[in-house]
Amino acid sequence: MDPIRKSNPQLGRLILAAALFVAWIGMLAILAATTTRPVVLSRPQFLVSDFDDGWQGPGRYILPLKKTGAEAYVVALPGPSPGFDPMKLKPRIYRETPETLHQLISILKSK
């Protein structure tokens, strides 16, 4: 009997595993090629902010604001984190998109 034609369950599992691996790598390559760079909101920055609002200008933005006076606000810096100096960073504002709004709602629910 031809050794290649023998039923070998280990060979079948190896072929299946290799096919799944190639499919997984292919899917990751497709995602890497088609996905844009997502904007991720800084959770600590929003947790230390006192007020969140959207600025009406050329576009819509999400601003993590911190109250500094009766009617004065500044864009909040990220909160303290070990090994991270937020004072070396510029405050960030975020373009309003469905993804950033979803992140904002999630952060505010946990606040």
Pairing of strands 60-67, 51-56: antiparallel
List the chain residues with pLDDT less than 50. Answer: 1, 54-56
DSSP 8-state class, residue 95? E
Q: Which two tokens stand for residue 63?
A: 């601003």
User: How many structural domains comprise the chain?
Assistant: 2
State whether 59 and 84 are in the same domain: yes
Q: Which domain holds residue 17?
A: 7-36
pTM over 0.75, yes/no: no
The reply to whether 93 and 78 lie within a common domain is yes
Q: Say what the pLDDT of residue 89 is.
A: 66
Task: Please report the pLDDT score of residue 17 as a whole number.
Answer: 95
Considering the domain architecture, whether residues 66 and 100 belong to the same structural domain is answered as yes
Residue that is written with structure tokens 């959770």 in the block: 43
Q: Which residue has the tokens 């902010």?
A: 49
